[in-house]
Amino acid sequence: MNIFERIQQLDRRWIYIVVALAIALPLAFPFNSDNITSPPTENLYQFIDSFAGRPDRAILLSFYHDASTMPELFPMEVAILRHCFERNIKVFTLTWLPSAGPIIDYAINTVKEDYPNIKSGVDYCNFGYIPASLAMPTVLGMGDNIAASVKTDAEGRKLENLEIMKGITNYSEMNLVIEFSGSSAGGMWLFYARPKFGLNIAVGVTAVMAADEYPYLQTGQFIGMLAGLKGAAEYEKLTDVFGAYREPGTPLDLGVDEDGNKIPHGRSFSSDILRDESIQKYLNITPQHIAKFKPKEYQQFVDKHPEKKAIFDSLKEEKDGMIEIDVTKVTEAQKDELGYVAFNDLNRLTYNIPYKFKVARIGMNAQSVAHIMIIVFIVLGNIGYFIQKARQAKQQ
């Protein structure tokens, strides 16, 4: 009996162990890998980004899934919410499923932790659970007047009284709906709202469902699509490169302009920037703890916090013409002396991405290893099968 025949007769439980290890090891020991973004993800990102800083535009996120599909859909939701919070885009959320209510809260709270200035009823509004039996009247009603159709948010506040509703009446303003689902994503909006009101629709779907949704994407009925964990990883990357981007000299909170409008953080989408190798430093998913500056950038940075200059100077080290500060070497006393703003400003320049904003990319590492393993299994299995078949033919 050769090795291929042995593999044919292998107990399936050994294969389970190999699969578990192939996935667990890349997760326990993450490594940096490239993640090329695809046009459906880029189109969706650009569409959402075109609403940046506009009080008369909003997007609606429909959470049409339960906990069973969270591994694929939750990172997408977090990435889009983060993009919106970074770029000052109004967000509404709703669900047709009772079990998705807590998922909305979980997603919003996960992102909101890092954005203390984001407020419910001002920057975002959760409509909460709306029974699926009311989906059709709600979808059609929002085309005329959102506040008349939904009436109250999940906290029981009247929509018409909320600040977020200023400048938002119907689909003319809330011009994009993104539905996350593990089954028929976007159907309700596609059948009722798009033909009647011309609503723009995008979907975030599990990989299983992606093949079913591509025809709608190809005919332009969906303006974009996030497909499975890969789609989530791509969106995470775009948010890091553009939405969460900060020039070394810019303050953490940019504040408001002369007219009182919030100035969005980050920068606009550009294919040239995506192709630039310099963006790699924003995309490392392994833990980063060293802030690197060119001498001019360091001066710019210190000028923002002149009273903390002595502490920064005591922490800095010069290597190959660059100035480096290792944030893990900052003592608790120094942290207190620096204060929240200065320390976080420094920490931000290590480009260390919080775990929750790189979950999908770390998952894609495991996905890649698992795919290679499955291909090897298929090849070995096929070789074994044909050897066995040839032997049987000989015996006959």
Q: Considering the complex, what minimum distance in angstroms separates the CB of residue 66 from other proteins? A: 8
Question: Which CB sits closer to other proteins, 346 or 359?
Answer: 359
Q: Binders of other proteins among 69-108, rule CB under 8 A?
A: 69-72, 98-99, 101
Instruction: Determine, following the binding rule CB under 8 A, whether residue 380 of this chain makes contact with other proteins.
Output: no
The token pair at 226 is 């996030």
Quick one: which of 47, 180, 192, 242 contacts other proteins (CB under 8 A)? 192
Instruction: Determine, following the binding rule CB under 8 A, whether residue 147 of this chain makes contact with other proteins.
Output: no
Instruction: Determine, following the binding rule CB under 8 A, whether residue 36 of this chain makes contact with other proteins.
Output: no
The token pair at 387 is 């050897």
DSSP 30-72: ---------HHHHHHHHHHHTTTT-TT-EEEEEEE--GGGHHH
In SS3 terms, 25-36 reads as HHHHCCCCCCCC
Instruction: Pick the stretch among 66-74, 106-114, 288-296, 339-347 that binds other proteins (CB under 8 A).
Output: 66-74
Q: Considering the complex, what minimum distance in angstroms separates the CB of residue 108 from other proteins? A: 18
Quick one: which of 211, 252, 379, 390 contacts other proteins (CB under 8 A)? 211
Contact (CB, 8 A) for 87 and 49:
yes
Q: Considering the complex, what minimum distance in angstroms separates the CB of residue 191 from other proteins? A: 4
d(CA 80, CA 282): 18
Instruction: Determine, following the binding rule CB under 8 A, whether residue 24 of this chain makes contact with other proteins.
Output: yes
DSSP-assigned letter for residue 240: I
Instruction: Determine, following the binding rule CB under 8 A, whether residue 361 of this chain makes contact with other proteins.
Output: no
Contact (CB, 8 A) for 264 and 246:
no
User: Going by C-beta distance under 8 Å and a sequence separation of 6 or more, which residues neighbour residue 362?
Assistant: 26, 27, 30, 285, 355
Q: Binders of other proteins among 213-272, rule CB under 8 A?
A: 215-216, 218-221, 227-230
> How many CB atoms lie under 10 A from the CB of residue 23?
17
x-marked contacts with other proteins along 106-145 as a string, rule CB under 8 A = ----------------------xxxx-x--x---------
Instruction: Pick the stretch among 36-44, 104-112, 276-284, 360-368 that binds other proteins (CB under 8 A).
Output: 360-368
Q: What are phi and psi of 4, to 5 degrees?
A: -65, -40
